[in-house]
Amino acid sequence: MSVSMRLADLEAVYEKLATAIDAAGAEKAPVYLAKLVLLLSDQIGDPQMVLRAIDDCLHDL
């Protein structure tokens, strides 16, 4: 089940992520995002949720 956040909190994530990807730069952006997934996976502690999200995000690219 997804953890719901208030729109304002999600917007904060949205903005921070955009800035961080720019800070990483185009070349490092992919490895930065992969790292983020691994760290969040460890912190969330729910492997099924992460695996579903990985599949979900593969759509409509």
Partner 1 sequence: MRPAGRGPLESLYFSYPHFDPPLRDNTRVARQRVVIAGAGPVGQLAALALASHGIESVLLEEKATFNDGSRAICVARQSFHILEQVGAVQACLDKALGWTTGRNLYRGRQFFEFSMPHSQDDKYLPMYNLQQQYLEQFLWEAIERNPRIDMRWQSPVKTVSDCAEGVRVTVGNPNGDYTIETDWLLAADGARSPIRAMRGLRLKGENHQGTYVIADVRMEHPYPTIRRALFDPASNRGATVLIHRQPENIWRVDYQIGSDESIEGATAESVVTKRVSAILEEIGHRGQWELEWWSAYSANTLALDEYRDGRVFFLGDSAHIVPIFGVRGLNNGLADAANIAWKLAMVIKNEAGKRLLDSYTPERRGATLDVFLNASKSTRFMTPPSIGWRLVRDAALSLALRHEFAGAFSNPRQMAPHSYSDSPATLADAAAGASGSPPGAVLANVRLDDGRYLTDLLGPGFSGVWCRSAASHCTRIELQSRLEKLDPRFRLLELGVDFTDADRRVAIRLGMPNGGFYVIRPDLHVAGRWFNVHAESIAAALATILDRAGE
Q: Stretches 1-9, 11-19, 38-46: which one binds partner 1 (CB under 8 A)?
A: 38-46
Asked if 5 is part of the footprint of partner 1 (rule: CB under 8 A), the reply reads no
* 50 and 44 Cβ atoms separated by less than 8 Å: yes
* 54 and 37 Cβ atoms separated by less than 8 Å: yes
CB of 16 to partner 1, least distance (A): 18
Asked if 23 is part of the footprint of partner 1 (rule: CB under 8 A), the reply reads no
Sign of CA dihedral 52, 61, 22, 11: negative
Q: Residue numbers of the site for partner 1 (CB under 8 A)?
A: 30-32, 34-35, 37-39, 42
